[in-house]
Amino acid sequence: MIKKILVGLGGIIAIILVVAAFQADTYLIERTATISATPEVVFKHITDQRDWQRSNPWVLEDPTATAAYTGEPGAVGSTYSWTGEQVGKGTATLVEARPFSYAKASLHFKEPFESMATDEYFLEPSGSGTKVLHRMSGENDYMGKLFGLFMSMDAMIGGNFEKEFELMNKNLTAAGR
């Protein structure tokens, strides 16, 4: 009886491992919202990684999180590095910035899993505010594919994008910007 259970369990595990191998090689997560501030204000907030921390739900939810910055705030090449029990360890480098319309960062996650991603913001005027599209994309290695069978990256990361937009609206409106 135990032998049949172990063979059955082994079969289920094998099926899961095979199914994971056939999952998508890339991922794309995006959310859109309108922020009650001008494109200039939103752009400055997004590209100045020190200021953006006020709208960073990952760090705000991790009391152990610490940050370090290099480079001129808002300038291409500036970096933000983080470490924390919940957020892990990584670095974001601003690699492209088109004033008031587009910002792109390269993300290097070091812990708990090593991976790279691209983080982009597309901005356009919308009435008296700014329509913002936040997109994250990257390669899905085997561990990411396996993880994706049990947890939705879109729900986890996209949910934090939505929290980020709420915080942006609160912070940029409260500041009278």
Question: How do residues 1-45 score in pLDDT, each as one tens digit?
Answer: 888 887 777 777 777 777 767 777 888 999 999 999 999 999 999
Q: Is 151 exposed, middle or buried (0-12, 13-18, 19+ CB in 10 A)?
A: exposed
- Residue ranges per domain, the chain? 26-174
**Residue 43: helix, strand or coil by DSSP?**
helix
- The DSSP output letter for 9 is H
* Structure confidence at residue 175 (pLDDT): 53
More confident residue, 12 or 123: 123
For the domain made up of 26-174, give the CATH fold.
Alpha-D-Glucose-1,6-Bisphosphate; Chain A, domain 4 (3.30.530)
Find the mean pLDDT for residues 117-133. 95
